[in-house]
């Protein structure tokens, strides 16, 4: 299985190179490549994030990187990579290299018939939901570098009588440097037939998936689903689904069981700027739902989502993104700049002038070694003015294991459920044409079954950013962190200086 995974990854890289080389002429293609290098110096009074035995540290971090955004006939997507080298003067955790990657691309391999979707991420993930939460400048034993990838070739077209078809194969995997958490490999296929006749439409889909955890068990699942939809108007679309699914997720001896599933869904688009979609279904784990809402105004973006579903491979988060704040600004500028490459340059310029982190995430996940039932609720609001921008983000999660009496080395060995809450505020104000000030506050909470599995942490930052040259910026930031952990309450104060040059 893993050899097949490596073959798929190599084929995707070869297809990407060939497609890029065969893309249309520069007049028809759009490509942006921007190398960069950053230098960061951090002074902290508690490098190991421990109570009682605080140790100060001074860290030097050099980070070269590159960003590529493509909107070509053959390739559409982005590639963003950093390599950080850390030198700790007091040797609290040793020197090391850290990789950070976010990339996603769709390759038009054969004339709008065969495609390859590829994505990958490399990031620092929390090992436990109840441990310390901090950035790369500290020696955090609760973080592990985690790599995920996904390669999905597909074909799509149309049969006679207007019947559309799509067939897809999917392979993805997760590799973490933490020995206490499970790597996983996933492979599966999916097929779909559909037809639209006036306002009515139907579809028939089937899929099969196998997930193999290195420290857990192998699970299999498959579904067959039919859907009927009707567009009452261009703004209102309703749907009804009914099907059958088979899996071994609820049986410790891997015995497969079959279940019925059915549900209804609704899509409402009152305008090009507003979309609401909602669905509810009865599944083998109980009632699931999916709600999403987005509204874009001239200077405001609002996004809301609420999902209850089973994640069969929770660590394989291969929905690569350049960050929550980046995505909100990108959505805000869709009408202003339709071209994705020019819009990416516009977003990056605004983030740079405000001194804001585009890779800000609403919530940070933790590593597990099994399929979990999760409910995830998120709210993100971005508001901009002539000289400032304000962002508020909230995320709430509830995770539980599907099977009891399994010892797999993750947090669920000692708790049946994990609740998380994250609330953050971020404001930036442009003081002069080249200088901005920013402030942020983040509150993170996690809770399990035991009294010792309660962690509450707040982080307050104040910073100022200025342009040192046409393509060079510098910033100074003060950070205060305080955690009320059940086993390890701690606090930290830090001063951070950054210089970034974009070539």
pLDDT per residue as tens, the chain (503 positions): 554 454 454 444 444 444 444 444 443 448 999 999 999 999 998 888 877 778 888 999 999 999 999 998 899 999 999 999 988 888 777 667 889 999 999 999 999 999 999 999 998 888 888 877 765 555 677 788 889 999 999 999 999 999 999 999 999 988 888 765 668 889 999 999 999 999 999 999 999 999 888 877 788 999 999 999 999 999 999 999 999 999 998 888 888 999 999 999 999 999 989 999 999 999 999 999 999 999 999 899 999 999 999 987 765 555 677 777 888 888 888 888 888 888 888 888 888 878 777 666 656 678 887 888 999 999 999 999 888 899 999 999 999 988 776 677 788 888 889 999 999 999 999 999 899 999 999 999 999 888 888 888 899 999 999 999 989 999 999 999 998 876 778 888 999 999 999 99
pLDDT value for 475: 93
Give the pLDDT score at 349.
84
- Of 301, 446, 443, 441, the closest CA to residue 379 belongs to 301
DSSP letter for 15, please: H
The reported pTM is: 0.86
Specify whether the CB–CB gap between 209 and 222 falls below 8 A.
yes
Element (H, E) at 295: strand 286-296
Q: Can you give the pLDDT at residue 47?
A: 84
Beta bridge partners of residue 490, listed in sequence order: 483
Distance CA 35, CA 294 (A): 33
Q: How far apart are the C-alpha atoms of 135 and 441, rounded to whole Å?
A: 15
Quickly count: other Cβ atoms within 10 Å of residue 144's Cβ.
18
Structure token digits, residue 410: 């993750």
Q: What is the pLDDT of residue 181?
A: 66
pLDDT (0 to 100) of residue 134:
65
Handedness of CA 126, 127, 128, 132 (dihedral sign): negative
Cα radius of gyration rounded to whole Å, the chain: 24
Beta strands in 347-489 (DSSP E): 372-384, 388-401, 417-432, 435-447, 454-467, 472-485
SS3 392: strand
Distance, in Å, from the CA atom of 424 to the CA atom of 442, rounded to the nearest integer, reads 4
């Amino acid at each position: 299985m893993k050899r097949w995974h490596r073959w798929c990854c190599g084929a995707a890289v070869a297809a990407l190179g060939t497609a890029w080389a065969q893309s249309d002429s520069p007049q028809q293609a759009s490509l942006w490549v921007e190398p960069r290098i950053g230098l960061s110096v951090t002074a902290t009074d508690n490098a190991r994030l421990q109570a009682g035995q605080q140790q100060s540290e001074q860290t030097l971090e050099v980070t070269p990187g590159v960003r590529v955004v493509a909107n070509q006939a053959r390739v559409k997507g982005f590639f963003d990579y950093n390599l950080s080298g850390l030198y700790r003067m007091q040797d609290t955790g040793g020197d090391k290299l850290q990789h950070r990657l976010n990339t996603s691309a769709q390759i038009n391999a054969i004339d709008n018939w065969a495609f390859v979707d590829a994505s990958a991420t490399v990031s620092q993930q929390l090992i436990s939901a109840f441990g310390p939460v901090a950035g790369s400048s500290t020696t955090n034993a609760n973080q592990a570098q985690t790599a995920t990838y996904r390669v999905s070739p597909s074909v799509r077209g149309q049969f006679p009588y207007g019947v559309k078809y799509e067939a897809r194969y999917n392979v993805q995997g997760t590799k973490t440097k933490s020995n206490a958490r499970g790597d996983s490999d996933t492979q599966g296929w999916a097929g779909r037939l559909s037809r639209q006749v006036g306002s009515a439409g139907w579809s028939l889909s089937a899929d099969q998936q196998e997930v193999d955890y290195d420290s857990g068990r192998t699970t299999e699942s498959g579904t067959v689903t039919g859907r009927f939809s009707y567009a009452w108007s261009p703004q209102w679309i309703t749907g009804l689904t009914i099907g059958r699914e088979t899996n071994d997720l609820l049986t410790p001896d891997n015995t497969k069981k079959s279940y019925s599933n059915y549900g209804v869904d609704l899509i409402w688009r009152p305008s090009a700027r507003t979309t609401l979609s909602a669905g509810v279904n009865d599944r083998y784990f109980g009632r699931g739902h999916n709600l999403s809402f987005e509204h874009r105004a001239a200077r405001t973006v609002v996004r809301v989502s609420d999902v209850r579903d089973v994640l069969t491979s929770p660590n394989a988060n291969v929905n690569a993104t350049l960050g929550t704040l980046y995505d909100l600004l990108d959505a805000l500028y869709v009408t202003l700049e339709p071209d994705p490459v020019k819009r990416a340059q516009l977003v990056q310029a605004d983030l740079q002038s405000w001194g804001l982190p585009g890779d800000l995430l609403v919530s940070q996940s933790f590593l597990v070694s099994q399929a979990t039932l999760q409910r995830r609720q998120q709210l993100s609001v971005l508001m901009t003015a002539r000289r400032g921008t304000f962002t508020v983000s909230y995320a709430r999660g509830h995770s539980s294991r599907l099977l009891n009496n399994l010892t797999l080395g993750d947090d669920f060995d000692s708790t049946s459920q994990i609740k998380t809450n994250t609330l953050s505020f971020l404001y930036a104000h442009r003081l002069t044409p080249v200088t901005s000030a920013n402030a942020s506050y983040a509150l993170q909470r996690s809770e399990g079954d035991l009294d010792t599995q309660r962690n509450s942490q707040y982080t307050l930052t104040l910073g100022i950013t200025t342009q040192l040259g046409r393509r060079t910026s510098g910033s100074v930031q003060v950070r205060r962190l305080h955690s009320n952990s059940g086993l390890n309450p701690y606090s930290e104060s830090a001063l951070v200086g950054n210089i970034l040059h974009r070539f």
